[in-house]
Amino acid sequence: MHGSIEARDASDIRVVADDVTRDDDAASERVVQDVALSFFCPDVTDASTLKRVQQFMDFGYSVTVFGFRRERYNTDYQPPWPNVPLGFTTDLKYWHRLSALLHAVPALFANRRTLARASIFYARNIDQLLLALLGRLIAFSRAPIAYEVLDIPAILMRRGLVPTFLRAIERLCLRRISLLVLSSPGFHRNYFSAVQKYAGDWFLLENKLYPSPTRTRPTAAKPGVGRRPWVVGYYGLIRGEATVDLIARLAHRLKDRVVFKFGGVFTTVEQAKFETVLRRCPNVDYSGPYLPQQDLERLYRSVDFAWALDLEHTDHNSRWLMPCRFYEAGYYGVPCLAVHRFEVGNVIETHRIGWTFDAPLEDSLVRFFERLTEEDYELIRTRLSTVPSSMFVAREDVAELCGKLARSRSGSRPG
């Protein structure tokens, strides 16, 4: 088994802007053609990077990507857009990442004319924000900077000299941005407002599907009467040893009552340890890497539930994030399983479109599957099918972000 999502052809992510439906107000904010955007990212092969760059291109931006690579998947991928390679970096190895940042500086000097033409700088994570600020300085530019955050790194939530120093650096950088872009309101409420005391402009851009995988939202297949076993899908980034350990224990206790299907890439889970789980649990399956635009419907058609219990950092990031699989599963009519009082759990409970669980999670989940009836399942699945697809697919929100970026060009610009 290889924990990697294969490189996607550019046609897998390409969509013309006219295919993205939006209301008249949002459409009026569409960015004019040939606005230059310098995009700084930690991994040019990451699916979320491909999605974001394509979104900007579809809304009229001329994008140049300044990006690192991470040797975990898509290693042969060649971006179809202008790309300035910055070298390689590694998850969680912070000293290595610092060295990689320093080695990227010559590339900024070599491309200072490109940076000088940029109307907007867009940076994903604190490393890239530092580079974007430096790039703007090198280019003698006053173009606005947007800072996008998809996760709160664990090191920023720790005590000690190094975490305190990193938070201080981020706080200084936050004073120099024009817009903070977050994938979950929990990040703003619990970290940027409460910890970093950020009071500037921010925008919620959730991890929604883009473009819509199909023009018509598919209808979930109705389970057959007395269908067994129940099938739970975990697709995407496979992370968190505690999550895999919990699933292994559930698989052992529930046996032929539940099957757990995995697909995607390994991040903070040791593949060798996961393979041990596969050998010991016949009701745990791993189908390997997949192509998001091609395979999502097939994958979600094969499951009854989507696993949305992230247990990697339950005191902060896991509690606050909104996982991609919530939007993927919701679009395909598959209810999620989540933790009570986590951000995703709150959304599920508000709309009554899935199930949430309290500690002890193992016992709660076992009782749930032992007592679940087809009628109970069908009630939730039917309610989920009535939720507007705009909850799961990015449309007006992308146009609104582009409008905010356009306005920031003519507004006040932090120094």
Q: Which pLDDT band, with edges at 50, 70 and 90, does 412 fall under? A: very low
Q: Are residue 55 and residue 170 in the same domain, yes or no?
A: yes
- CATH for 333: 3.40.50.2000
| pLDDT at residue 378, as a whole number | 95
Q: Are residue 276 and residue 341 in the same domain, yes or no?
A: yes
Does any domain span residue 330? yes
29-33, 247-251, 370-374: which has the minimum mean pLDDT? Answer: 29-33
Q: What is the mean pLDDT of residues 75-101?
A: 78
Task: Look at residue 321 and give its three-state secondary structure.
Answer: coil
Number of domains in the chain: 2
Can you tell me which residue has the tokens 């099957």?
Answer: 259
Structure tokens at 85: 């390679």
Does any domain span residue 4? no
| pLDDT at residue 225, as a whole number | 47
DSSP category for residue 107: H
Q: Are residue 152 and residue 278 in the same domain, yes or no?
A: no
- Which residue type, as a one-letter code, is found at position 386? T
Can you tell me which residue has the tokens 């989507």?
Answer: 306
User: Measured between alpha carbons, how far is 236 from 206 in angstroms, rounded to an integer?
Assistant: 16
Other residues' Cβ atoms within 10 Å of the Cβ of residue 167: 18
User: Measured between alpha carbons, how far is 119 from 201 in angstroms, rounded to an integer?
Assistant: 18
Does any domain span residue 219? no
Does any domain span residue 415? no
Q: Are residue 135 and residue 31 in the same domain, yes or no?
A: yes
Q: Which pLDDT band, with edges at 50, 70 and 90, does 211 fall under? A: confident
Strand-pair category, 336-339 with 305-307: parallel
**pLDDT tens string 374-383:** 999 999 999 9
Q: Are residue 167 and residue 200 in the same domain, yes or no?
A: yes
Does any domain span residue 222? no
Q: Which pLDDT band, with edges at 50, 70 and 90, does 73 fall under? A: low
Identify the residue with better confidence: 1 or 116: 116
Q: What is the mean pLDDT of residues 216-229?
A: 64
- Which residue type, as a one-letter code, is found at position 90? T
Q: Are residue 248 and residue 373 in the same domain, yes or no?
A: yes
Does any domain span residue 5? no
Q: Are 337 and 344 in contact (CB under 8 A)?
A: no
Q: Are residue 45 and residue 86 in the same domain, yes or no?
A: yes
User: Measured between alpha carbons, how far is 83 from 94 in angstroms, rounded to an integer?
Assistant: 24
| pLDDT at residue 46, as a whole number | 85
What is the extent of the structural domain holding 340? 230-391
Q: Are residue 380 and residue 399 in the same domain, yes or no?
A: no
Does any domain span residue 385? yes
Can you tell me which residue has the tokens 């146009």?
Answer: 399
Q: What is the mean pLDDT of residues 165-174?
A: 97
Q: Are residue 405 and residue 386 in the same domain, yes or no?
A: no
Q: Are residue 150 and residue 290 in the same domain, yes or no?
A: no
| pLDDT at residue 333, as a whole number | 96
**pTM of structure:** 0.88
Q: Which pLDDT band, with edges at 50, 70 and 90, does 222 fall under? A: low
Q: Are residue 53 and residue 64 in the same domain, yes or no?
A: yes
Which among 263, 268, 345 is positioned nearest to 309, based on CA atoms? Answer: 345
**pLDDT tens string 173-209:** 999 999 999 999 999 999 999 999 999 999 999 999 9
| pLDDT at residue 6, as a whole number | 28
| pLDDT at residue 72, as a whole number | 57
Q: Are residue 345 and residue 385 in the same domain, yes or no?
A: yes
DSSP track, 145-182:
EEEEES---GGGGS-SHHHHHHHHHHHHHHTT-SEEEE
End-to-end CA distance of the chain: 49
Does any domain span residue 225? no
